[in-house]
Structure 1
C-alpha cells in the first residue's frame, strides 16, 4: 500500500507539468487527456484536451495531477494545509529550483542559510502549490 499525492489543478495541469519540468527537472511518466479516457462520464464539452490523469516524478517522488473538477477558464486551484518538501543535496541546485518555483508565485520564507538546517525556504508557486526546499549539508 502507498499514498500518492494528487494535485487537482483545475485546467492548469498541462502548464504545471511544463513548469515543473523546467523548474525541477520533473519527468512526466503518464498522461491521458479526457478524450482518451475509457470513462467519458467525467468529460463535458470543452474539456476533451484537458488532462484526465497524469503521473510525474520529482526527484524520487511520484505525484499525480488532474484537471478533474475543472469548472471553467476562471477556475483556480486551491491548496491549503500542506506543502511538498524537497530534500536537496546542493544549495546551488535548490536555489535555482526555488527561484523557478517563485516565478509568478509567492515567496513565503526566502531561501537562505538556516539555524536548523543548512539552507531552507518556502515558496507558493504560480499554481498555488506550497513547496518547502531544504538542503542539509550533513545529510540528515
Structure 2
C-alpha cells in the first residue's frame, strides 16, 4: 500500500450523516464501519454498536476519514476552524456549485465567495455539522 495522508474528523455522533452528506456533494467512494460490524472483545470501552468506528470518503480531490467521538465526557468542539477543509477547484463555477450544495444541505456562508486580496477566488461555508469548508480557485 502506498503512503497517504488524510484529514480525520471526530464528530459527536454525526459522522455517518456527515460522510453521507459530503459524499452526495463531492462524490467518490464512501465506506462506513460501525462498532457493531467489528469484533468487540477486548475493547477498552463499551461503544454503541451503531456508532461509527471508522469511515472514509475517497473523493477525486482527496480523502477524508473520521469516526464518532467517544462518550467520555470530553467536549469535542466542531464549530470553529479547527475542523476545516480547503478545497481547491478548477473554476469559480465549480466552487459555487459545492458552496450551493453545502448551503442547501443546511450550511451557512462564513465568508462570501469572491476575489480575495491575493487575487484568487475564496470563500468559506460552515456545513450543518459545523465543519468549515474553504473554497479557492485561480479561475475568474
Shorter-chain TM band: 0.7 to 0.9
Normalising by structure 2, report the TM-score: 0.78
**1:1-140 alignment, distance < 5 Å:** 3-28=5-30, 30-40=31-41, 41=43, 42-44=45-47, 47-70=48-71, 78-82=78-82, 83-103=84-104, 104-137=106-139
Normalising by structure 1, report the TM-score: 0.78
Q: Work out the CA distance in 2 between the residues paired with 1:70 and 1:55.
A: 21
Is the CA contact 1:7–1:65 (under 8 Å) kept in the aligned structure 2? yes
Residues 58-81 of structure 1, C-alpha deviations (whole Å, 9 max, x = no match): 33311111013247xxx9852544
Residue 97 of structure 1, CA deviation: 0.3
Q: Work out the CA distance in 2 between the residues paired with 1:79 and 1:69.
A: 18
Residue 10 of structure 1, CA deviation: 1.5
Unaligned runs of 5+ in 1: none
Residues 17-57 of structure 1, C-alpha deviations (whole Å, 9 max, x = no match): 121012222431x321110123452443xx21221101112
Q: Work out the CA distance in 2 between the residues paired with 1:58 and 1:117.
A: 27
Q: Work out the CA distance in 2 between the residues paired with 1:43 and 1:90.
A: 46
Q: Work out the CA distance in 2 between the residues paired with 1:136 and 1:7.
A: 28
The number of aligned residues is 133
Segments of 4+ moved more than 6 angstroms: none
Unaligned runs of 5+ in 2: none
Residue 11 of structure 1, CA deviation: 1.1
